[in-house]
Amino acid sequence: MPAHNEERTIGGVLDSLKREGWRNIVVVDDGSIDRTADIARSKGAVVVRHKRNMGLGAALRTGLATARKRGADRAVTFDADGQHDPKAVRRLVSALRGKDLVIGVRMHMGIPLYKRFGNFILDWITFLFSNVFIDSQSGSRAFNRRALEKIRIMSDRYDVSSEIIIQAKKRGLKIGRTRVKCFYTKYAKARGTTIVSGIRIFAGLIKLSALGAWK
């Protein structure tokens, strides 16, 4: 669970995951200046801290590396802002049967039209690099051990969501999908990608491709 200044929501999110029976939770505190790390620890999560804010990609890289080191055979990424359905975690894990990476395809419950359009454009951009058309910017994902070993994130920021899919395809991993609910509260709507970050994602993917990052 990547988290940056999420003291308003992270306690409730962790409680909801624990009610679903999940205990091995790693929170990557990405340079927060609030009580995010303290609250996560008080809820029993393993907390790994970045001294400064490094971005979503860096936080996911740290989180997945921690899962590998702890011997996880499966890992699920989950946002700290309350938009993800804790009941979907079991669905994501179940969908891993026969797959290496599963993407949670979001049902559009209250998502603003401009975000839908932006996500659609980013889905097409991801398709250009991977030949996989899917909900590329979804933060709901499940990895099996093979995916944890094969996917090594290089992006530091939002381009990570597309990069994970591109790497999975380039490295011969089997990609699946399952539908998940997302709850777009006023708080969640104010966060995430924008038009500017979309342009940066495209530029970041071009740069990684030019450097041969996925060969």
The whole model's pTM is what?
0.90
Going from the N-terminus, what domains does the chain have, and what CATH number goes with each? 2-210 (3.90.550.10)
Asked whether the beta carbons of 49 and 60 are under 8 A apart, the reply is no
Report how far apart, in Å, the C-alpha atoms of 176 and of each of 2, 3, 92, 95, 128 are. 23, 26, 9, 7, 18
User: At residue 189, does pLDDT exceed 60?
Assistant: no
User: At residue 187, does pLDDT exceed 90?
Assistant: no
Of 55, 84, 39, 104, nearest in space to 185 by CA: 84
Tokens of 139: 């933060």
Q: How many CB atoms lie within 10 A of CB 111?
A: 18
H/E element holding 12? Answer: helix 10-19
Model confidence at 188, pLDDT cuts 50, 70, 90, reads low
pLDDT, tens digit (0-9, with 9 covering 90-100), for 2-22: 999 999 999 999 999 999 999
Asked whether the beta carbons of 163 and 205 are under 8 A apart, the reply is yes
pLDDT, tens digit (0-9, with 9 covering 90-100), for 159-169: 999 999 999 99
Residue 142 CA, distance from chain mean position? 9
User: At residue 108, does pLDDT exceed 80?
Assistant: no
Tokens of 3: 């988290």
User: At residue 196, does pLDDT exceed 80?
Assistant: no
**What is the chain's mean pLDDT, rounded?**
91
pLDDT, tens digit (0-9, with 9 covering 90-100), for 111-145: 777 777 888 899 999 999 999 999 999 999 999 99
Instruction: Work out the burial of residue 121: count CB atoms within 10 Å of its CB; fewer than 13 is exposed, 13-18 middle, 19 or more buried.
Output: middle
